[in-house]
């Protein structure tokens, strides 16, 4: 049968997040064709998407199929399914890919059937996008490696910073914890609906893609009190703070103590803010004017995330041991690190 190559590539691209990098589970590095859908599964994420014109059941190695398609120039390719192989013809090229006729992925027994769909808040993906960079990479603290979705709130923390995003509507299921690795992929889809599974949560995106992610059932720590900055002195950031932070990032050193987050040191005193960073390749320093009437402070903060949100900061307040930022529907609090704390 004739198939449009670009369309097939686009479908395979959609299910790619469910592929494993190593074949720890049988067929975890394969595209599985089940009825009218192509499915991937790596024990953490499973993605399926409708595929037209390929009514077959079996699994083919993802890398071989994907790489071959990307090297073919023809817009239309011919695909034929034989007993134990898939033959793809493109112009004068022909390739035969081994076809495992039995799909061995534990789709039904592990993930179950997704059903009971409800709408997700329209800015859910914005919330995920805002929060997932604050997740921890420390696997000994698994809860903190996840984004917490609870009612109309999305939040995350690596213990050194907390991000919270308020959505325009509450989730009808949950609360649940999505691993940051899944959230990072999920934000690439236009998510419309959600369904609760047993140990999994399923998201339906535009085009009928179903993205299933394993979720953690543990309790996320209460962040409410930590988000408060008591007796904080307001600080108005300069408009070009984002640019300055991005320059400083080049020289920021990742600190083991903070889970390898690159840090920048910020000193604020008498209407001036000084940003400094230093790593093994060199150093950076930049002064800028700010509006701030509090006591002189010097603190170190994780720079990457700060650089991302800098242009959206509406309020900033510096407390005794933390600094708080907020915008239209979000809050972000950073613990003062290193030489933090008010200077004498």
Partner 1 sequence: MKGFFSKERTQIPYKSEGGRVHSCTSCGLHKFVLSPRMKPFGKGDKGIMVIGEAPGEEEDKKGRPWQGKAGRLLQEQYRKLGIDLFEDCICLNAVNCRPTDKKGNNRTPTEFEVACCRQRVIQTIEKHKPKVVIIHGGTVLSSLIGHKWRKDLSGISKWRGWTIPDRDYKAWLCPTFHPSFIERQERETEINVVWAQDIKQAIGMADVPFPSGKKEEDCVVMSDDIEKVLTDLIDQRPELLAFDIETTGLKPYNKKVHEIVSIAFCTEPDKAYAIPYPKEEKHLALLKELLEHPDIGKVAANMMFEDTWLNIMSDIEVKPWRWDTMQAAHVLDNRPGITGLKFQSYVRFGVLGYDDDVVAYLKSPGTNTPNDIKTLARDKAGMRRLLLYNGLDAILEYRLALLQIEEFE
Give the footprint of partner 1 on this chain (CB under 8 A): 24-25, 43-44, 106, 109-110, 139-144, 157, 159-160, 162, 179, 214, 216-219, 221, 223, 226, 257, 320-322, 333, 335-337, 339-342
**Residue with smaller CB distance to partner 1, 125 or 158:** 158
CA distance 303 to 293: 24
Q: Which residues contact 63 (CB under 8 A, 6 or more apart)?
A: 29
Closest CA to 318 of 297, 287, 291: 297
**Residue with smaller CB distance to partner 1, 76 or 339:** 339
Q: Answer whether 240's CB lies under 8 Å from 246's CB.
A: no
Min dist. Cβ of residue 139 to partner 1 (A): 6
Min dist. Cβ of residue 45 to partner 1 (A): 10
Tell me whether residue 282 is exposed, middle or buried, using C-beta atoms within 10 angstroms of its C-beta: 0 to 12, 13 to 18, 19 or more.
exposed
**Residue with smaller CB distance to partner 1, 151 or 221:** 221
Min dist. Cβ of residue 326 to partner 1 (A): 17
**Residue with smaller CB distance to partner 1, 72 or 335:** 335
Residues in the chain: 344
| DSSP letters for 170-184 | --SS--EEEEHHHHH
Min dist. Cβ of residue 155 to partner 1 (A): 12
**Residue with smaller CB distance to partner 1, 17 or 121:** 17
Q: Answer whether 298's CB lies under 8 Å from 265's CB.
A: yes
Min dist. Cβ of residue 28 to partner 1 (A): 9
Min dist. Cβ of residue 144 to partner 1 (A): 7
The dihedral over CA atoms of 328, 334, 339, 341, expressed in degrees to the nearest 10, equals 70
Min dist. Cβ of residue 107 to partner 1 (A): 10
Min dist. Cβ of residue 261 to partner 1 (A): 11
Give the phi and the psi of residue 36 in degrees, each rounded to 5: -100, 20
**Residue with smaller CB distance to partner 1, 50 or 221:** 221
CA distance 141 to 236: 34
Beta bridge partners of 61: 30
**Residue with smaller CB distance to partner 1, 89 or 223:** 223
**Residue with smaller CB distance to partner 1, 166 or 226:** 226
Min dist. Cβ of residue 282 to partner 1 (A): 25
What is the radius of gyration, based on Cα positions, of the chain? 24
CA distance 15 to 194: 17
**Residue with smaller CB distance to partner 1, 195 or 336:** 336
Q: Answer whether 337's CB lies under 8 Å from 158's CB.
A: no
What is the separation, in whole angstroms, between the first and last Cα of the chain?
77
Closest CA to 265 of 208, 192, 338: 338
């Amino acid at each position: 049968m004739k198939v449009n190559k670009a369309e097939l590539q686009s479908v395979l691209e959609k299910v790619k997040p469910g592929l494993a990098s190593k074949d720890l589970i049988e067929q975890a590095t394969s595209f599985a064709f089940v009825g009218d859908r192509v499915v991937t599964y790596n024990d953490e994420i499973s993605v399926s998407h409708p595929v037209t014109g390929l009514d077959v059941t079996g699994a083919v190695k993802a890398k071989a199929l994907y790489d071959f398609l990307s090297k073919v120039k023809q817009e239309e390719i011919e695909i034929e399914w034989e007993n134990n192989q898939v033959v793809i013809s493109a112009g004068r090229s022909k390739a035969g890919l081994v076809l495992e006729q039995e799909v061995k992925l534990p789709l039904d027994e592990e993930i179950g059937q997704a059903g009971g769909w409800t709408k997700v808040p329209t800015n859910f993906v914005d919330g995920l996008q805002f929060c997932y960079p604050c997740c921890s990479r420390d696997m000994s603290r698994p809860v903190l490696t996840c984004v917490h979705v609870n009612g109309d709130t999305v939040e995350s923390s690596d213990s050194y910073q907390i991000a919270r995003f308020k959505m325009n509507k509450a989730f009808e299921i949950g609360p649940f914890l999505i691993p940051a690795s899944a959230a990072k992929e999920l934000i690439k889809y236009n998510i419309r609906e959600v369904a609760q599974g047993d140990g999994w949560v399923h998201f339906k995106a535009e085009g009928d893609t179903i993205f299933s992610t394993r979720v953690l059932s543990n309790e996320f720590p209460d962040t409410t009190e930590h988000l408060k900055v008591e007796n904080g002195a307001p600080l108005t950031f300069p408009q070009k703070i984002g640019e300055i932070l991005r320059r400083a990032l080049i020289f920021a050193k990742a600190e083991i103590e903070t889970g390898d987050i690159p840090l920048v040191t910020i000193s604020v005193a008498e209407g001036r803010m000084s940003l400094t960073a230093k790593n093994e390749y060199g150093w950076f320093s930049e002064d800028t004017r700010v509006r701030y009437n509090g006591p002189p402070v010097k603190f170190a903060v994780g720079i990457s995330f700060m650089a991302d949100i800098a242009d959206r900061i509406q309020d900033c307040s510096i407390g005794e041991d933390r600094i708080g930022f907020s915008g239209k529907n979000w809050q972000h609090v950073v613990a003062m690190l290193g030489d933090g704390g008010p200077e004498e």
